[in-house]
Structure 1
Amino acid sequence: MNKKLIILGSGGYGRTVYDIAEQLGYSITVLDDADEEHPLASFAQYLEDATEFISAFGNNAFRLQWMEKIEEAGGKLATLIHPTAYVSPKAQVSTGSVILPGAIVNTGSRVGRGCIINLGATVDHDVIIEDGVHLCVRCIVKGENRISCCEKIEAGEIVERATRV
């Protein structure tokens, strides 16, 4: 059976998601308001059992809003993990999240809904990443931390181990 994916958003993150989805063997349709023939509002016409959706907007809150719209309409959200990423079998990655090439999600960590774990980002052990977070390129979140909803950790940033956990 052919896996179908509807990507909402054609900007930089949308193109990144497209690349990963293509490598994972999806048949892809992109919706974006910049495309008069395939606007975002047309997503409902693609609702069917064999189709998944991914909200591919760089704006964290907007990404989560579209995830809610999709689910309220009965759509299924995809979770995409690039083949070169490492996700521990003892970690959890929630729906709507994308784990990009070279990223690491270590044991006991939980990645919330609609998160972006970008190129080479490292999530060490027992970290909680709340919904809508964007971990930028090659950032490091040391063990036993919690990253709040819709927070963005910049490229190369190191989040030291929290003493409050």
Structure 2
Amino acid sequence: MRLAILGASGHGKVVADAAGLSGWSSMVFFDDAWPEIAKNGFWPVVGDTATMLREVSNFDGVIVAIGNNSTRKAKQHELAASGARLVSVIHPSAVVSDFAVVCAGSVVFANAVVNACAEIGEGCIVNTGAVVEHDCVMGDFAHLSPNAVLAGGVKLGPMAWVGACASVKQLIDVGEGAMVGMGAVVTKSVPSAVTVVGNPAKVLSPSSQ
């Protein structure tokens, strides 16, 4: 089973590691900094995006390993249009309910929990130790950082980003493209395209995404 990963970054290393542990036998990277970058940790970088698009049929699966939500969305759509077989990667130590949905292009890292009836959209990141409780919905290309927690019934909008160790109260909506700062405690719904910080979280500024 051969996996092509777009994005030779630190995030990409964690994706490759999780993929190997979950059964992929071979992982190679593509990155637009190639050929200046020829290796990402233990894994080779063998081409750029254009190369990957030409060679997608040679791989059993492809995934975009880019942390920036907007860039990840654009690259995943480009790959999908080429007919690439987009896959998700779930670390074997993650706990994902049989009654949850994880869509193509998403990653669920070590010790994360995705509980019953949760829905993880396309191209999402559920990072190390994060918790997505029952009946939550993560919109496409959203990012849940390490140890962040979505309590039951939270709706996280497309391309929203929740910082490390932040928590969102049950039944709260976080709007499209919103950013929740590290360690923030969200007790009220968050509008689209803003950044909130603090405990309780308050609007700091428009989102920079």
Query: Same fold judged by TM-score > 0.5?
Result: yes
Segments ≥4 residues shifted beyond 6 Å: none
Query: Structure 2 CA distance, aligned partners of 1:163 and 1:53?
Result: 33
Residue in 2 that maps onto 1:30: 29
Aligned residues: 163
Aligned with 2:83 (options 74, 78, 82): 74
Q: Identity of paired residues, percent?
A: 33
- Find out whether 1:157 has 2:191 as its counterpart: no
1:126 aligned partner, one-letter code? D
Residue in 1 that maps onto 2:111: 102
Q: Give per-residue Cα distances to partners, 1:102-149, cap 9 Å, x unaligned.
A: 000000100000000000100111000000011000011000110011
Residue in 2 that maps onto 1:6: 4
1:147 aligned partner, one-letter code? L
2:164 aligned partner, one-letter code? A
Aligned with 2:18 (options 17, 20, 23): 20
Q: Which has the larger radius of gyration?
A: 2
Contact between 2:155 and 2:172, CA under 8 Å: does it hold in 1?
Answer: no
> Deviation of residue 39 (structure 1)?
1.3
> Deviation of residue 19 (structure 1)?
1.0
Higher relative contact order (CA 8 A, sep 6+): 1
> Deviation of residue 47 (structure 1)?
2.0
Taking a change above 3 Å as real, the CA distance of residues 49 and 25 of structure 1, as seen in their structure-2 partners, is same
> Deviation of residue 64 (structure 1)?
1.2
Q: Secondary structure at the match of 1:15?
A: helix
Query: RMSD in angstroms over aligned alpha carbons?
Result: 1.6
Counterpart mapping for 1:112-151 below 5 A: 112-151=121-160
Q: Give per-residue Cα distances to partners, 1:82-117, cap 9 Å, x unaligned.
A: 110011111100000000000000001000000000
Query: Structure 2 CA distance, aligned partners of 1:45 and 1:145?
Result: 40
2:122 aligned partner, one-letter code? R
Counterpart mapping for 1:44-55 below 5 A: 44-48=53-57, 50-55=59-64
> How does the TM-score come out when normalised to structure 1?
0.93
Q: Give per-residue Cα distances to partners, 1:52-98, cap 9 Å, x unaligned.
A: 11011010111111111111111110111111001111110000000
